[in-house]
Amino acid sequence: MNTVTLRKLHIGHGMPKVIVPIAEISREGILAMGKKLRPLNADAVEWRADFYDGLRDTDGVLSLLRELRSVLGDMPLIFTCRTAKEGGMADISDTEYAMLNTKALHSGYADAIDIEALSHGEHSNLLIRETRELGCVSIGSFHIMHMPPYAELVDTLDAIHRTGTDITKLAAMAASTEDALVLMGAARQAKARGVSPLIAIAMGEQGVISRILAELSGSDAVFAAASKASAPGQLSLGAMREILKAVHENIR
């Protein structure tokens, strides 16, 4: 089983890690949330830059990333710009997406870069390659606003894994508990085939079971909200911690 390290955090070993998103709109709100998160019991922070109302000011984004890095201290920081293609707030071109992520990567302020591995063609491939060359952790992600069939989910997980990113992440919207179980089954199959570390999420209220039973489905990390959720179905940080701990202690 592979393990990826973000500062002192080891993803792919032990209980699933809890990542808390910052999805505030303003600079002030983002930094205030960073200060709030620092003393809390989260494993890592994800800055969802696509929510930021100054996203098109690249210099401003990098300046804010630097400040957020300082505010968080030694807590691992993931930089994510989720595009409209995958249900995010950033309505930008492939070129703009690649340029923003490349600059965030070269800034050195992020411990990991979330890369939409299958949505931007050669732009994604070049970004993955450059992330590897610079020694930064890459999260290869793909988000689907419905739940595909089991075989398609397995193929998609394999496709992300083949891009060479360090962590494979797949999120799909669940319309029912059965949908969530299909995703969890596909995740278990992918994990058995060597896709690791892995993050597999069934989004929406009907997908909560995929977060609660993340360890049983082979998912190495989950997302939980300290304030504003970045995706439907996220539980609170405190509740997520307690549930994961209870499951972990009772399956050993």
pLDDT beyond 70 at 88: yes
* Superfamily for the 4-250 domain: Aldolase class I (3.20.20.70)
The pLDDT value recorded for residue 145 is 95
Using a pLDDT cut of 90, give the percent of the chain over it.
92
pLDDT beyond 90 at 75: yes
Residue 115's beta-bridge partner residues? 140
pLDDT beyond 90 at 136: yes
Q: Where are the beta strands (DSSP E) in 58-166?
A: 77-80, 112-116, 137-144
The pLDDT value recorded for residue 27 is 98
The pLDDT value recorded for residue 168 is 98
Q: What is the pLDDT of residues 184-205, one digit of tens each?
A: 999 999 999 999 999 999 999 9
The pLDDT value recorded for residue 10 is 97
The whole-angstrom separation of Cα 230 and Cα 23 is 6
Q: What is the mean pLDDT of residues 69-84?
A: 97
Q: What is the mean pLDDT of residues 204-228?
A: 93
Closest by Cα among 192, 239, 186, 185 to 212:
239
Residue 138's beta-bridge partner residues? 113
Catalytic residue positions? 143, 169
pLDDT beyond 80 at 16: yes
Q: What is the mean pLDDT of residues 39-63?
A: 96
The pLDDT value recorded for residue 234 is 83
Residue-range domain boundaries for the chain: 4-250
pTM of the model: 0.96
Q: What is the mean pLDDT of residues 9-32?
A: 96
- Residue 251 pLDDT class (50, 70, 90 cuts): confident
Average per-residue pLDDT for the chain: 95
The pLDDT value recorded for residue 233 is 72
Q: What is the pLDDT of residues 99-132, one digit of tens each?
A: 999 999 999 999 999 999 999 999 999 999 999 9
Write down the residue that tokens 């989260």 correspond to. 42
Q: Looking at 1-5, 139-143, 241-245, which range is the least confident one?
A: 1-5
Q: Which amino acid is present at 234?
A: Q
Backbone angles phi, psi at 206, to 5 degrees: -75, -10
The pLDDT value recorded for residue 226 is 87
